[in-house]
Amino acid sequence: MALQDYIRSRFFPHIWCVGCGHGTALNALLRAVETLGLDPSDIVMVSGIGCSSRMPGYVDFHTLHTLHGRALAFATGTKMSKPELTVLVPMGDGDALAIGGNHFIHACRRNIDITAIVLNNRIYGMTGGQFSPLSGPGVVATTAPYSTYDPAFDVMRLAVGAGASFAARGSTYHVVELQQLLVKAISHKGFSVIEVLSPCPTHFGRRNQQGDSVEMLEWLKANTAKLGSKAAEENPELITRGIFVEDERPEYCEQYERILEQAREG
């Protein structure tokens, strides 16, 4: 199938700002789905609230646009009722790690076969540029005019610590790698977390002297490195990209099915 067959082109141009990384993340996700040859009618995309959560509107899969922070709860219900479907959950900083933080860690712990795509733009874009748990210290936001001073979550360490069996980080500059990571995340049996460093030129770039989308992508190019690379080893300040964890562990729906069988046997 061609890329055009996976989108609802009547809703384009999309709502995202000029140069928004979320558009590139959607682009990469569609190509990953195309590579895997998935049938759109076998995919469910579930989202909460925020810029990232507008994504299901643009894809011609089964789609659910749900409550803020609760996308994983709806996705869990969807997956448990129809385990044969591929469930994708695009989430922003807030959905995944602020209001939805509790759902996030428990989805990791259960190892339910869902792919959570955490679009990390380090800011709440849709509501006007408030800082988020992924902003980190020294960031200027509408709610931190003199800059933030609290540390950010490390999404990878959090996901791995909570029990996700697949965790990877990519960036919208490194698009080919991002497509490959998404293919692996979607194929993985169990809970997959993929963090995508996705620039928000409108609210983050503008307030933090990071410039426009081109400059923000240049920043990602200069400030990230492949996990285990020489560059990452020599400069611990660089943000690492790659697969942090890829484990085989019992999957939640399969375990539930086993319990049902046991109960039926009496």
Partner 1 sequence: MPKRTIADVRINSLWCKRCGICVHFCPREVFVSGEDNLPRVRALDRCTGCRLCEYWCPDLAIEVLIDDE
Which positions lie near partner 1, rule CB under 8 A? 3, 7, 12-14, 16-24, 26-28, 30-31, 172, 175-176, 179, 212-214, 217
Of residues 51 and 134, the one with the C-beta less far from partner 1: 51
**Closest separation between CB of residue 233 and partner 1, Å?**
27
**Closest separation between CB of residue 130 and partner 1, Å?**
22
Separation of alpha carbons 255 and 34, rounded Å: 30
**Closest separation between CB of residue 78 and partner 1, Å?**
26
Sequence-ordered alpha helix ranges (H) in 154-208: 155-162, 175-187
Of residues 30 and 87, the one with the C-beta less far from partner 1: 30
Of residues 51 and 97, the one with the C-beta less far from partner 1: 51
Of residues 30 and 38, the one with the C-beta less far from partner 1: 30
22: left (phi over 0), alpha (psi -120 to 50) or beta: alpha
**Closest Cα partner for 182 from 79, 43, 53, 72?**
43
**Closest separation between CB of residue 29 and partner 1, Å?**
11
**Closest Cα partner for 73 from 99, 54, 51?**
99
Question: Structure tokens of 40?
Answer: 């759109």
**Closest separation between CB of residue 214 and partner 1, Å?**
5
Of residues 9 and 102, the one with the C-beta less far from partner 1: 9
Kindly list the distances between the CA atom of residue 63 and the CA atoms of 32, 58, 88, 189, in Å, as whole numbers in the listed order.
Answer: 18, 9, 10, 21
- Is-contact 23 47, C-beta < 8 A? no
